[in-house]
């Protein structure tokens, strides 16, 4: 997996206050060293897998993840159109848009177009592939800078077709990666 950033670029006429989102994929194997908090989530998710299949939502006891629960989302990805993916649970400690609660909100209804498009790309990639994704993310949204790592983990009722995602974030600063 490449460490080069994936970029949602503003239009060529964008000004310094326009929203921008940069994502840099990271190898899952680096989690224990680089992000122990997200590694807890990954190890728990991996322990819920049976016979190489993806875990089901009912296999996940969110209380086992209580230390990171405020930074975690559960996303329903059953819709045909990824803009209709919906947050079933939205972490209460996530700083985005001044701690707004996006529980039961469609991705297509998120206010920032670049951020919305980045989430649609990333969530649909995990939903279609069934493969976890670990990223560094930096963004400037409504003139506010955000910097965090993000882990996307697929869930599947039948063990194969992804119908939900666990999304866990951890606020971090990346000296070599800014928006």
pLDDT at 176: 85
Residue 7 φ/ψ, nearest 5 degrees:
-125, 135
Q: What is the mean pLDDT of residues 51-62?
A: 94
Domain edges within the chain: 15-171
Strand boundaries in the chain, DSSP class E: 6-8, 20-26, 72-76, 86-89, 133-141, 144-155, 164-171
Selection from 73, 76, 45 nearest residue 61 by Cα? 45
Buried/exposed 136-164: b ≥16 CB within 10 Å, e otherwise: bbbbbbeeeebbbbbbbbbbbbebeebbb
3-state helix, strand, coil in the chain (%, to 5): 35, 25, 40
pLDDT at 151 over 70: yes
Residue 136 near residue 177 (C-beta atoms within 8 A): yes
HSE (CB half, 13 Å, CA atoms) of 59?
A: 20
Mean pLDDT of all residues in the chain? 88
15-171 belongs to CATH 3.30.450.20:
yes
pLDDT at 96: 65
pLDDT at 10 over 50: no
């Amino acid at each position: 997996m490449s460490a080069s950033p994936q970029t949602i670029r503003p239009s060529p006429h964008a000004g310094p206050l326009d929203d921008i989102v940069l994502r840099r994929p990271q190898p899952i194997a680096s989690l224990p060293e680089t992000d122990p908090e997200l590694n807890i989530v990954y190890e728990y998710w991996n322990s819920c897998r049976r016979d190489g299949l993806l875990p089901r939502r009912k296999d996940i006891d969110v209380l086992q993840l209580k230390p990171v629960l405020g930074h975690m989302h559960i996303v329903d990805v059953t819709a045909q159109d990824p803009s209709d993916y919906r947050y079933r649970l939205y972490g209460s400690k996530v700083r985005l848009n001044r701690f707004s609660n996006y529980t039961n909100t469609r991705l297509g209804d998120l206010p920032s177009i670049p951020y919305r498009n980045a989430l649609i790309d990333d969530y649909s990639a995990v939903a279609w592939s069934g493969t976890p994704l670990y990223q560094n993310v930096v963004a400037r949204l409504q003139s506010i800078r955000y910097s965090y790592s993000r882990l996307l983990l697929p869930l599947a009722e039948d063990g194969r077709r992804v119908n939900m995602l666990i999304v866990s974030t951890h606020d971090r600063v990346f000296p070599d990666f800014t928006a």
